[in-house]
Amino acid sequence: MRITLLDNFDSFTYNLVEQFCLLGAEVRVMRNDTPLPTIQAALLAEGCELLVLSPGPGRPEDAGCMLELLAWARGRLPVLGVCLGHQALALAAGGAVGEARKPLHGTSTSLRFDQRHPLFDGIAALRVARYHSLV
């Protein structure tokens, strides 16, 4: 699978790249300050099959070309958003992103999956680290 990962200048970006590569994906990383036409041309020319929006600091509205790229990709490519990227997906779908009542930075939480959904079937509960100021 050919993946383009939009880097929102986060230290976890290359953790995602490594995991996708371990699954056999070809991953190209492009930063969110790359001109939108350059990213669009690369996605089309390289036959991108998945666009991943990385974590990053701040708000989705301040993450370079991410929201404009997401609007362009709608209906063209599947998109996975992680942290800040997930917040961008929420905004694009008409949702809202606001400040959390209590920021959680480095907090460990048990994550359980809805086994009724095929996407999560067979995935056991695990401990995850949370880094959330916005929800």
Q: Residue 66: in which H helix or E strand, if any?
A: helix 66-73
Torsion of CA 86, 3, 15, 105, to 10 degrees: -10
Written as tens digits, the pLDDT of the chain (135 aa) is 999 999 999 999 999 999 999 999 999 999 999 999 999 999 999 999 999 999 999 999 999 999 999 999 999 999 999 999 999 999 999 999 998 888 888 889 999 988 888 878 888 999 988 877 887
Domains of the chain and any CATH numbers: 2-97 (3.40.50.880), 98-135 (no CATH)
Q: Report pTM.
A: 0.88
Cα separation of the two ends of the chain: 30
Q: Which residues pair with 71 in a beta bridge?
A: none
Q: Is the distance from CB of 32 to CB of 56 less than 8 angstroms? A: yes
